[in-house]
Amino acid sequence: MRRLLRLARILWVAFRFGLVEFAFAADPTGRRLRLARAVFFFRSFDEPRAVRLRRALETLGPIFVKFGQVLSTRRDLLPADIAEELAKLQDQVPPFAAELAVAEIERAFKRPIGEVYASFERTPIASASVAQVHLARLPNGTEAAVKILRPGMRPVIARDLELLDAGAWLVERAWPEGRRLRPREIVREFAKHLDDELDLMREAANASQLRRNFANSHLLVVPEVYWDWCSSTVMTMERMHGIPISQVDRLRAEGQDIERLARYGVEIFFTQVFRDAFFHADMHPGNILVAPDGRYVALDFGIMASLSDGDRDYLAQNFLGFFRRDYKRVAQAHVDAGWVPPGTRVDEFEAAIRTVCEPIFDRPFAEISFGQLLLRLFAVARRFSYEVQPQLVMLQKTLLNIEGLGRQLYPQLDLWTTAKPFLERWMEGQVGWRAFARNLEHEAPQWAKLVPQIPRLAHRLLASDPAAEIVPKLEAILAEERRRNRLLAALVVVAGAVLGALLVALYAG
């Protein structure tokens, strides 16, 4: 019942804000749109369509706001008016009352706010889909930024996730391709990351890990977490100064090298994914500043993701294959990872990938759309029963964010030239003597602990009940080995005798 009520609310909001025109905007003839306007003639709107869409997403709640945030980075896929308006969802979501923020802080630390902070600004500096940020000073005078979770978030998100899960179930049942796409697993993966985002202690730990990964980096700076002023609903961190990366004109006026910033963004992404296997999965422009020294400043660490060694190696093989135009390597990587059936013909898969990818190379960044590329690759992969990997959904989302950011900063950036040397250096570090020595050093403590225990473990194994079965098997194996050795020796003797006889006959002749 709750799902039906939520669905009814979504339909009501769409009707209220006149979103029906978006459903028919793709009709080239315009007949459907004219029909919709005729049917809903009694509805008139003074606001532009982009404003109505933004307000509808805000009304529907945090999941829909996040959807709008992702869309706002795809200026190549959206009309300019919609992209500009949805960009306001990144850090201009209507804030909740300051009294609620103060009450949440006092509830978290069980004391008046005047005893928690030396000063606290009641007007927020940023308001996003699940939290808002206020400036404050710690008792020792240190400047800080305080992030406070929106009250009553969990019930709203739970209802929306139930609705998404129901929709995914319908897709699996009603669409032949639904099960292969695994939409319910994708919804569960999204739900896991949303649940993580609602725990600000987890976000604080993410920020601390990312700060450690980029300590003394020339690429990225991450704020310090002040742990004594953190709870599950309140997070206090170092206040960061910088220019929002979306304000390109202001960055140029301050003398920032825009092309270098674009290259840094790509390098930061690949460093997080391949060096650390731990990456910021919500890198839209509202979460990034540029410090006066030209480094990126990361904000909002609620959605972070990690990769297994297998996924990381698979991605590296694919990226290098694309950059080198080695499509056979890409096809074989899919087969080796088990993401296409083992009986797939690699040569056919290779030819299909080449058809999609070859046209995009040797073009500037402005002419390359990862969105279109992913759609075409998906269409090709359907022929080979490719299974969607839910654990990579966040990586794909981040890649799309990086594309939108790079396009906004420096459309002429050559992504391939920028990323290829980094990946080649990383791959070189995974093979050869240096990689062997590093792995040996990593495993040495474990071996030092296990090796002295081997005699005791072997004695325990032989003294246990299974020894009655193990010992006869070992004796049988050794007897078989001795028999083979005797047979081999006899064959050697016979071969030697035959060879000797032939040599004597030849000599006599």
Q: Residue 293 in contact with residue 444, Cβ under 8 Å?
A: no
- 172 and 206: one domain? yes
Does 66 reside within a domain? yes
Angstrom distance (rounded) from CA 379 to CA 358: 16
Q: What is the pLDDT of residue 240?
A: 95
DSSP state of 257: -
In sequence order, the 6+-apart residues with CB closer than 8 A to the CB of 56 are: 13, 14, 16, 17, 19, 64
- 85 and 104: one domain? no
Of residues 1, 329, 398, 43, the one with CA closest to residue 163: 1
Q: Long-range contacts of range 424-431, CB-CB < 8 Å, 24 or more positions apart?
A: 424/320, 426/270, 426/274, 426/275, 426/316, 427/316, 427/320, 430/313, 430/316
Q: What is the pLDDT of residue 1?
A: 63
Going residue by residue through the chain, which has 509 residues, state the pLDDT in tens, using 9 for 90 and above.
Answer: 666 777 777 778 877 887 766 655 545 555 655 665 555 545 556 678 888 888 888 888 777 777 777 666 555 556 778 877 887 776 567 788 999 999 999 999 999 999 999 999 999 998 877 889 999 999 999 999 999 998 887 777 777 777 777 777 776 776 655 566 566 776 776 677 677 778 999 999 999 999 999 999 999 999 999 999 999 999 999 999 999 998 999 999 999 999 899 888 888 988 998 889 898 887 778 789 999 999 999 998 988 888 887 778 777 777 778 777 888 888 888 787 777 777 788 888 889 888 888 877 666 655 666 656 665 666 676 677 766 565 566 677 677 777 777 777 887 777 667 777 777 777 777 665 666 666 666 666 776 766 677 776 666 666 665 545 555 665 676 676 666 666 656 655 556 655 555 555 555 54
- 282 and 412: one domain? yes
- 157 and 185: one domain? yes
Does 456 reside within a domain? no
The model's pTM:
0.70
Q: What is the pLDDT of residue 369?
A: 65
Q: What is the pLDDT of residue 475?
A: 66
Does 451 reside within a domain? no
Residue type, 211: R
- 214 and 155: one domain? yes
- 273 and 245: one domain? no
- 285 and 369: one domain? yes
Structure tokens at 442: 């990593």
**φ, ψ at 279 (rounded to 5°):** -135, 155
- 32 and 59: one domain? yes
Q: What is the pLDDT of residue 134?
A: 96
Last residue within a domain, chosen from 376, 405, 430? 430
- 475 and 490: one domain? yes
Does 485 reside within a domain? yes
Q: What is the pLDDT of residue 79?
A: 74
Total of domains in the chain? 4
**φ, ψ at 148 (rounded to 5°):** -125, 130
Does 459 reside within a domain? no
Last residue within a domain, chosen from 382, 404, 430? 430
**φ, ψ at 126 (rounded to 5°):** -155, 145
132: burial class by Cβ within 10 Å (0-12, 13-18, 19+)? Answer: buried
Annotation says 282 is catalytic: yes
Last residue within a domain, chosen from 255, 285, 305? 255
Q: What is the pLDDT of residue 32?
A: 56
285: burial class by Cβ within 10 Å (0-12, 13-18, 19+)? Answer: buried
Does 447 reside within a domain? no
> Which neighbouring-strand residues pair with 92?
127
Helices (H), 175-231: 178-181, 183-197, 200-213
- 275 and 245: one domain? no
Does 460 reside within a domain? no
Does 171 reside within a domain? yes
Structure tokens at 427: 């791959």
**From 46, 76, 91, 282, active-site residue:** 282
- 145 and 125: one domain? yes
- 203 and 282: one domain? no
- 294 in the Ramachandran plot: left (φ > 0), alpha (ψ -120 to 50) or beta? left
* Residues of the domain holding 62: 2-89
